[in-house]
């Protein structure tokens, strides 16, 4: 993940300063352990200032509104208490070339700041600290005790101390090509390494783009550079310093990330705020998506292994109970042939009543024939009782397995992160599993139990232009089938296979063509556990014929008056690959 360097931070703050000073603080919201959002309002506009101290993605920019879930963090509550209603009147670096921004808050523009929020955008050492007008720390995102750092403890009530000062040389526009070249090439080495060692305020990403923009490799050694190479590289160096001085930047997307200098850009960005917000939102969402998908799959796999083992045990007990009549038959035979028993016998062979074939009956030698027969009758009754007890238990376990396989199928359909909706669909699955008591997460802040699932369904168009909606998880399946579906729509599902609910939207009086029905059936198989098959039976019916059993888990439905089509998931797979999905 590309970290925010001094250049990017300068560009972002320059743009915020130009468009959002002064502005009134209306709200502070903390979305997670590393990010706060401050609602700012000017005379013309309102937006959210996003400040993150994430160790890999610390940044500051105008971002998207935060999610509508409860904020239970004390840090944001302290910020609200102190900053609510105040004006943001200044955004300044604490010192030249430092990545620490002082956000100043006063009662009104022109007055002295009452509070300072120091945003330290410094990689894994990032932090956000609130101080009063005398620079005494009121609260901090990370409090650092004396034991953790004797150099710079950060604790409430203590004076705020700035990070240790830079020790390297700082770049200057007044420095000549000769002096610059001499400093960089004093010790032979790669141009990237020598620039990083020689000057403060640089980053690996900036140097990569700077060097590549003059057709050099970052690994090129300084002693192999020609005078022309040095001149071209120094020209880029000067361009960079001029951009910093004039506060004029060119935000753009690069193949591996972004730049605010325009070098190596393949697509221009609207502005620096949109660039940073989108990049770090996508990067962090991708990271969260991968972690959450792995955790959910691992948890489901562990639960399913245990349930399948339990089901196997119940099935074995039922198989044993199938022998109940065999014990009764042997007991009847023994009682009918008591005269054939002799003391001390361990086995007796008697002819079956119906087949007249010999049947061996094991005996307890210390018991007489009647006692042995009574023992066989007792075993018969025991196995009959076992069946009555085990059958409902097996049904419950199999129902639970079917539900979790449905959840597992939903997760398997969300293979890669492409949009924020993919992460949201996984988070809804996590909320569902927490609600069903399969997951415990005391830090998880769920939406209210009555909150609807999102409507970020998969969406397609049939050959005739009809819309097809597909649930991404069980909560969306229920939403789709029992709330969204209309009287004229058609409901599709892979027959007896875990998968998504599929809805073909139809207007009154419209009749879908065979190609439309086939299209929806293909999608129903593609978004099911049978995605790898060639042909899969699909049921479809009107939504009014789909019911949810009382007390059933999310996503479970029964149907009637269904028709059957054969879906072909490979046709959808081919279409998706052609569209680059």
* 102-123 tens-digit pLDDT: 999 999 999 999 999 999 999 9
Nearest to 506 by CA among 492, 526, 522, 485: 485
* HSE, side-chain direction, 13 A CA sphere, residue 203: 20
Domain co-membership, 68 together with 217: no
Q: Tokens standing for 197?
A: 């060692």
88 vs 168: which has the higher pLDDT: 88
Of the residues 140, 165, 194, which one is the last residue of a structural domain? 140
Domain co-membership, 303 together with 440: yes
Of the residues 426, 451, 476, which one is the last residue of a structural domain? 451
**Can you tell me the mean pLDDT for 521-546?**
95
355, containing H or E segment? none
- Asked whether the predicted pLDDT for residue 521 surpasses 70, the reply is yes
E strands, 4-99, in order: 23-32, 35-41, 46-52, 59-63, 87-93
Domain co-membership, 552 together with 417: no
- Does 474 map to a domain? yes
- Does 193 map to a domain? yes
48-53: Cβ within 8 A, 24+ apart: 49/16, 49/20, 49/88, 50/277, 51/117, 51/119, 51/128, 52/126, 52/280, 53/119, 53/120, 53/121, 53/126, 53/127, 53/128, 53/141, 53/142
- Does 156 map to a domain? no
pLDDT at 390: 85
Cα–Cα distance for residue pair 372/427, rounded to 1 Å:
61
- Does 228 map to a domain? yes
Peptide bond between residue 228 and the one before it cis (omega within 30 degrees of 0): no
- Does 112 map to a domain? yes
Domain co-membership, 445 together with 464: no
30: domain CATH number? Answer: 2.30.310.10
Domain co-membership, 107 together with 185: no
E strands, 194-292, in order: 252-254, 257-259, 267-268
Domain co-membership, 426 together with 371: yes
Cα–Cα distance for residue pair 567/517, rounded to 1 Å:
10
Q: Tokens standing for 516?
A: 């439309």
Q: What is the pLDDT of residues 288-317, one digit of tens each?
A: 999 999 999 999 999 999 999 999 999 888
- Does 563 map to a domain? yes
Distance in Å from the first CA to the final CA of the chain: 23
Residue range of the domain that includes 88: 6-140
Domain co-membership, 293 together with 264: no
Query: What angle do helix axes 191-198 and 177-184 make, rounded to 10 degrees?
Result: 110
pTM (predicted TM-score): 0.79
Helices and strands (H and E) in the chain: how many: 13, 22
Cα–Cα distance for residue pair 346/343, rounded to 1 Å:
9
Domain co-membership, 466 together with 440: no
Q: Tokens standing for 451?
A: 């909150």
Of the residues 85, 119, 140, which one is the last residue of a structural domain? 140
**Can you tell me the mean pLDDT for 345-357?**
85
- Asked whether the predicted pLDDT for residue 442 surpasses 80, the reply is no
Domain co-membership, 336 together with 208: no
- Does 152 map to a domain? no
Burial class (CB in 10 A: 0-12, 13-18, 19+), 485: buried
- Asked whether the predicted pLDDT for residue 136 surpasses 90, the reply is yes
Q: What is the pLDDT of residues 162-216, one digit of tens each?
A: 988 878 899 999 999 999 999 999 989 999 999 999 999 999 999 999 999 999 9
Domain co-membership, 297 together with 396: yes
The owner of tokens 């040095």 is 230
Question: Cβ neighbours of residue 567 under 8 Å, at least 6 residues apart?
Answer: 494, 518, 521, 522, 523, 524, 525, 526, 535, 536, 537, 538
- Does 547 map to a domain? yes
The structural domain count of the chain equals: 4
Domain co-membership, 362 together with 483: no
Q: How many residues does the chain have?
A: 581
Domain co-membership, 402 together with 505: no
């Amino acid at each position: 993940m590309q970290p925010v360097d001094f250049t990017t931070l300068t560009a972002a703050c320059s743009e915020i300063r130009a468009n959002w000073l002064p502005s009134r603080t209306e709200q502070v919201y903390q979305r997670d352990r590393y990010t706060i959002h401050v609602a700012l309002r000017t005379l013309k506009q309102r937006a959210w200032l996003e400040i993150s101290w994430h160790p890999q993605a610390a940044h500051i920019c105008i971002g998207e509104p935060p999610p509508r879930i409860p904020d239970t963090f004390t840090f944001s509550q302290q910020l609200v208490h102190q900053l609510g209603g105040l004006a943001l009147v200044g955004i300044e670096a604490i010192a030249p070339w430092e990545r620490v921004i002082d956000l100043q808050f006063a009662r009104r523009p022109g007055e002295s700041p009452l509070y300072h929020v120091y945003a330290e955008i410094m990689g894994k050492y990032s932090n956000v600290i609130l101080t009063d007008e005398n620079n005494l720390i009121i609260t901090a995102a990370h409090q650092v005790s004396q034991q953790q750092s004797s150099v710079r403890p950060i604790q409430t009530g203590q004076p705020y101390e700035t990070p240790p000062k830079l020790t390297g040389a700082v770049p200057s526009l007044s420095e000549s090509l000769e002096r610059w070249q001499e400093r960089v090439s004093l010790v032979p080495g790669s141009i990237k390494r020598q620039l990083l060692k020689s000057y403060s305020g640089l980053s690996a990403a900036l140097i990569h783009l700077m060097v590549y923009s003059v057709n050099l490799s970052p690994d090129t050694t300084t002693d192999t550079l020609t005078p022309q190479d040095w001149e071209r590289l120094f020209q880029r160096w000067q361009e960079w310093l001029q951009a910093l001085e004039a506060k004029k930047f060119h935000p753009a997307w690069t193949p591996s990330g972004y730049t605010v200098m325009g070098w190596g850009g393949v697509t221009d960005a609207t502005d620096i705020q949109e660039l940073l917000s989108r990049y770090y939102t996508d990067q962090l969402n991708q990271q969260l998506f991968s972690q959450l998908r792995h955790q959910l799959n691992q948890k489901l796999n562990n639960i399913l292994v245990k349930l399948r083992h339990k089901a196997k045990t119940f099935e074995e007990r039922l198989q044993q109970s199938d022998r109940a009549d065999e014990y009764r038959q042997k007991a009847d035979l023994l009682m009918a042939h008591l005269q054939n028993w002799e003391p001390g016998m361990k086995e007796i062979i008697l002819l079956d009543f119906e087949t007249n074939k010999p049947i061996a009956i094991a005996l307890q030698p210390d018991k007489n024939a009647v006692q042995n027969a009574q023992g066989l009758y007792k075993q018969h009754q025991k196995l009959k009782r076992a069946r009555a007890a085990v059958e409902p238990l097996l049904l419950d376990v199999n129902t639970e397995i079917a539900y979790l396989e449905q959840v597992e199928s939903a997760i398997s359909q969300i293979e890669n992160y492409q949009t924020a909706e993919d992460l949201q669909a996984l988070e809804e699955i996590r909320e569902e599993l927490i609600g069903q008591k399969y997951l415990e997460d005391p830090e998880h802040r769920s939406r209210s139990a009555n909150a609807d699932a999102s409507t970020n369904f998969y969406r397609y168009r049939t050959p005739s232009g009809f819309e097809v909606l597909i649930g991404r998880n069980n909560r969306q399946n229920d939403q789709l089938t029992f709330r969204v579906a209309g009287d004229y729509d058609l409901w599709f599902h892979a027959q007896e296979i875990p998968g998504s609910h599929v809805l073909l939207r139809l207007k009154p009086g419209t009749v879908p063509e065979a190609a439309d029905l086939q299209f929806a059936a293909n999608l129903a198989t593609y978004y099911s556990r049978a995605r790898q098959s060639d042909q899969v039976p699909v049921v479809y019916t009107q939504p009014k014929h789909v019911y949810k059993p009382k007390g059933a888990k999310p996503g479970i439905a029964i149907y009637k008056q269904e028709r059957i089509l054969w879906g072909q998931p490979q046709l959808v797979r081919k279409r998706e690959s052609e569209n680059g999905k």
